[in-house]
């Protein structure tokens, strides 16, 4: 059973299709990045999962529990960190966490222990007597994370937690997310900062205009194999540049990039690993002397733009297969 399961989800606001037939699953214990431009539908999807909004059509489940039918159970399972959350005036950090721990039903010693555990985890110890509305952005996010973790949820849903953070605070937040992932929590996190998501996510879910346009792992995206259908290698070669250039002209999978003082740089652009192997075999046979060889990696922004470009050209979006329609539980009202 998946930690998150969204099936054929729609959310309309009047004529606006904020979420337009979204289907995906996030396995237990994995970190999934939710990526999309402003207005793509990330927050709306996350709010539905967090039981704060309802679908127009479709289902959303957390650990197999339907968010519409059993919202209270779902809330026990999830920690929700919204993109903006208000802090109360004249409430210190410790009072703030204690207040939420009480609201969650913790009492006495257990409540104090939970609050302390969260303070230790988020490293807010030196700031417990600070007013919660006077914290830096980074510490505000720590407090928000702490609040979301008070009841030790299995699943953490984080909407743009890194937005507005300086680089140091981002690194620190990323570290906390890694620790939580190691503890086995499922983390569903949205962000515009694709490169950072790639480092910590097991999979990336791209949404555009309310539709999922890609769901895959960051490595394949960077290698290009999922989006371009190509295997690109940057190769440095020793020897006479002109002879190398002439050799490249005869090779369907090789492109001459530039001359170097000794030799040149070429690119292998193959459609499959077998084609890469065949090209290498030809290089050895023709005594093309390789001095450096590495897989070309694109950054995730390029991969995302590549996917959007393919969509604009009318090529099909890469979407996971639909789940059985019998799980649909709502209809357009
Ligand atoms: N309550 C609402 N009423 C009307 N329109 C809404 C409502 N909530 C969201 N929208 C619209 O739905 C679309 C998707 O919004 P959503 O907040 O889900 O996008 P997002 O991907 O989270 O964007 P951002 O990164 O800017 O937060 C937007 O056009 C937004 O204006």
Is the distance from the beta carbon of residue 9 to the nearest atom of ligand 1 less than 6 Å?
A: no
Question: How does residue 187 score in pLDDT terms, banded at 50, 70 and 90?
Answer: very high
Sign of the alpha-carbon dihedral angle for 272, 273, 277, 280: positive
Q: What confidence tens digit (pLDDT) does each residue in 120-145 have?
A: 999 999 999 999 988 988 899 999 99
User: Which contacts (CB < 8 Å, 24+ apart) does range 62-69 have?
Assistant: 62/3, 62/4, 62/155, 63/1, 63/3, 63/28, 63/154, 63/155, 64/1, 64/2, 64/5, 66/329, 68/329, 68/330, 69/329
**Model ipTM value:** 0.97
CA pseudo-torsion sign 291, 240, 242, 284? negative
| Predicted local distance difference test score (pLDDT) of residue 85 | 77
Q: Assign 3 a pLDDT band (cuts: 50, 70, 90).
A: very high
Closest by CA to 225, choosing from 281, 303, 320, is 303
Query: Which residues touch 231 (CB under 8 Å, ≥6 apart)?
Result: 223, 224, 225, 268, 269, 270, 271, 272, 273, 275, 276, 295
Beta bridge partners of 206: 35, 214
Residue 332 has pLDDT above 70, yes or no: no
For residue 120, give the H/E element and its range: helix 108-122
Nearest Cα residue to 193 out of 166, 217, 220: 166
Q: What domains, with CATH codes, occur in the chain? A: 4-87+136-219+304-327 (3.40.50.300), 92-134 (no CATH), 231-295 (3.30.70.920)
Indicate whether residue 40 lines ligand 1 (CB < 6 A): yes
Report the nearest atom of ligand 1 relative to the CA of 207. 21
- 330 Cβ contact list (under 8 Å, min separation 6): 54, 55, 56, 57, 58, 59, 68
207 alpha carbon – ligand 1 mean position (Å): 12
C-alpha 87 – ligand 1 centre gap (Å): 23
The verdict on the CB of residue 322 being under 6 Å from ligand 1 is: no
pLDDT for res 84 = 83
Ligand 1 atom 2 nearest Cα: 13
As a whole number, the mean pLDDT across the chain is: 87
Ligand 1 centroid distance, CA of 155 (Å): 23
Instruction: Name which residue sits closest to atom 6 of ligand 1, judged by CA.
Output: 13
Whether 330 shows a pLDDT value over 50: the answer reads no
Predicted confidence band of residue 333 (pLDDT cuts 50, 70, 90): very low
Of all atoms in ligand 1, which is nearest to the CA of residue 14?
4
User: pLDDT tens-digit profile of 270-327?
Assistant: 888 899 999 999 999 999 999 999 887 767 777 777 777 777 776 655 443 333 343 4
Residue 296: its pLDDT value, please? 79
Please tell me the distance from the alpha carbon of residue 11 to that of residue 40, in angstroms, as a whole number: 12
Ligand 1 lined by 43 (C-beta under 6 Å) = yes
Buried b (16+ CB within 10 A) or exposed e, 31-41: bbbbbbeeebb
């Amino acid at each position: 059973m998946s930690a998150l399961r969204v099936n054929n989800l729609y959310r309309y606001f009047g004529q606006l299709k904020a979420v337009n037939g979204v289907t995906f699953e996030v396995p237990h214990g994995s970190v999934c990045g939710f990526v999309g431009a402003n207005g793509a539908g990330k927050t709306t999807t996350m709010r539905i999962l967090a039981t704060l909004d309802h679908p127009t059509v479709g289902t959303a489940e957390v650990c197999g529990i339907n968010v519409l039918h059993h919202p209270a159970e779902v809330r026990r399972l999830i920690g929700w960190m919204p993109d903006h959350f208000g802090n109360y005036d004249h409430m210190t950090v410790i009072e703030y966490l204690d207040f939420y721990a009480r609201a969650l039903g913790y009492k006495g010693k257990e409540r104090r222990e939970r609050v302390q555990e969260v303070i230790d985890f988020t490293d807010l110890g030196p700031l417990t007597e600070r007013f919660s509305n006077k914290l830096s952005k980074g510490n505000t996010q720590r407090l928000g994370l702490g609040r979301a973790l008070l009841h030790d949820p299995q699943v953490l849903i984080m909407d743009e937690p890194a937005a507005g953070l300086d680089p140091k605070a981002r690194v620190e937040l990323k570290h906390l997310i890694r620790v939580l992932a190691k503890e086995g929590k499922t983390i569903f996190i949205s962000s515009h900062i694709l490169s950072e998501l790639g480092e910590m996510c097991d999979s990336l879910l791209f949404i555009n205009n309310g539709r999922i346009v890609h769901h895959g792992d960051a490595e394949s995206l960077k290698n290009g194999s999922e989006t371009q259908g190509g295997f690109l290698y940057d190769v440095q070669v020793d020897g006479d540049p002109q002879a190398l250039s002439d050799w490249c002209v005869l090779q369907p999978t090789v492109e001459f990039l530039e001359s170097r003082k000794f030799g040149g740089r070429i690119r292998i652009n193959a459609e499959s690993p077998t084609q890469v192997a065949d090209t290498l075999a030809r290089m050895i046979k023709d005594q093309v002397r390789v001095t450096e060889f590495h897989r070309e990696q694109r950054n995730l922004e390029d991969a995302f733009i590549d996917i959007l470009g393919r969509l604009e050209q009318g090529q099909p979006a890469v979407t996971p297969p639909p789940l059985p329609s019998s799980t649909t539980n709502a209809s357009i009202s």
